Amino acid sequence: MSPLEFPALLQSFFTVRLIQQRRASPHTVAAYRNSFRLLLRFAAARLHRDPSRLVIADLDAAFLGEFLDHLERQRGNCARSRNARLAALRAFFRYVALSEPAYALHCQRVLAIPSKRFERGIVEFLNDEEIQALLGAPNLATWIGRRDRAILLVAVQTGLRVSELTALCRQNVTLGTGAHVRCLGKGRKLRCTPLRSDVTSILDAWLHECSPQPEDPLFPSSRGGHMSADAVERLVTKHVDVAQEACPSLADKRVTPHTLRHTTAMQLLQKGVDRSVIALWLGHESIETTQVYLHADLRLKEKALARTNSSGQVPGRYHPGDTLLTFLDSL
C-alpha cells in the first residue's frame, strides 16, 4: 500500500489531528493555516508547481530552511515569528512520521531544524500620565469614540489579550455588586476579572448604546460584528497619535494592544500584588511568565539597591544639574 501524498496528509493533519483529536482552538488552527499558506505560495514560486501537486520529498529540511530564511529576509519577520512558523511545520511532520512510517527519516531531518534564539527586550508599558492621555484621546461626541474609550479602559484595567477583548459578548459582563468580566482565554481557561467602579459606570453607559441581545459583541464594529485584532490595533495607534499632543513621552514608545496588557501587569506589581495573583489575573500558564515584569520595573530594583547600600550614601536616580551650568560645561 503506497503512502499518502502531501495534499491528503495536509488535509488530514488539519481535520483529523488538529480539529478532531487535539480539539485545537480556532486561533491555533488559523495560525497553522497561515503558516502553510505562506509555505505553499513560496513552494509554488520556487518549484513552479501547483500546491496540490507537491510531494513530501519536495519539502525537505534544506527547502524548509530556505523558506524560513525567506520569512526573515524578504518578509521582514522577526525570530519569534520564524519560530512560530517552524512550530507549525514541526507539528505537521510529527503527524506525518506517525501516519506514514515510510517518511520517518525525512521527517526526522525536518524536526532537527533548530529554533532561532532571540533577544528579549524590556517590556514596554505606560505610566499614569500616559494612560490618562490615551483614555482622553477618543472623541466622546461620537459613537465610535465612546466605544473606543470603553475598549481602552477595559483593556488597561483587565489586561485582556486582544483576542479575548474582541471575543467579549454582552453576556460576558456582570455589573453591580461583584462587577466582573468573563472570558475564555488561552488554553481554554475560563477566568473572571473584577472591574473597578469607574470602569463599571462607563460600561453601564456603553451597554445602553449596544444591542440588548446577550450573544452580540460587547464592542461591535461599525457593521455590528466582532472587531478584528487589526481593527483594535489601528484604533490604539490612532488614539496614541492624538494623545501625544497632551503627553509627548508617548512618541518615544511603540504602543500596541499588548502594551496595555503589560501596563495592567505593571500597575498590579507596583501596588504590591503578589506575582501568583498577577499570573492568575492575566491568565498565564506559569508564574515564570510573570517574571518578565520584575525586570521591567526600575523602582523595584532601586528598592533592592537601597537594602544593599553600604557606602553611607543615599541611593537614588541621577538628576541633571542646572541647565545653564550644564550648557557652560559643554562649551
238 in active site:
no
284 in active site:
yes
Q: Which CATH architecture has domain 6-111?
A: Orthogonal Bundle (1.10)
Q: Which of 161, 239, 262, 275 is catalytic?
A: 161
Read off the pLDDT of residues 195-224 as tens digits, 9 standing for 90 and up.
999 999 999 999 988 888 889 999 999 888
Distance separating alpha carbons of residues 205 and 140, to the nearest angstrom: 12
Q: What is the pTM of this model?
A: 0.70
180 forms beta bridges with 174, 194
Read off the pLDDT of residues 260-287 as tens digits, 9 standing for 90 and up.
998 998 888 888 888 888 888 888 776 6
Task: Return the CATH number of the domain spanning residue range 128-303.
Answer: 1.10.443.10
- Give CA torsion, residues 228, 231, 232, 235, to 10 deg: -170
User: Which residue spans of the chain are classified as CATH 1.10.443.10?
Assistant: 128-303
What cell numbers appear for 163 in the block?
Answer: 483576542
Q: Which of 32, 95, 103, 293 is catalytic?
A: 293
User: Which residue spans of the chain are classified as CATH 1.10.150?
Assistant: 6-111
Distance separating alpha carbons of residues 220 and 168, to the nearest angstrom: 10
95 in active site:
no
Q: Which of 85, 239, 261, 275 is catalytic?
A: 261
Q: Which of 180, 182, 186, 253 is catalytic?
A: 186
Asked if residues 106 and 63 have their Cβ atoms less than 8 Å apart, the reply is no
Please report which residue ranges of 13-142 form alpha helices under DSSP H.
26-47, 61-73, 79-99, 104-111, 128-135
186 in active site:
yes
The amino acid present at 124, given as its one-letter code, is E
Per-residue pLDDT tens listing for the chain (331 residues): 456 789 999 999 999 999 999 988 888 898 999 999 999 999 999 999 999 999 999 999 999 999 999 999 999 998 989 999 999 999 999 999 999 999 999 999 999 999 998 777 677 889 999 999 999 999 999 999 999 999 999 999 999 999 899 989 999 999 888 899 998 877 777 888 999 999 999 999 999 888 888 899 999 998 889 999 889 999 999 999 999 999 999 988 889 998 999 899 888 888 888 888 888 888 877 666 666 666 556 666 666 556 665 555 665 666 667 777 777 777 6
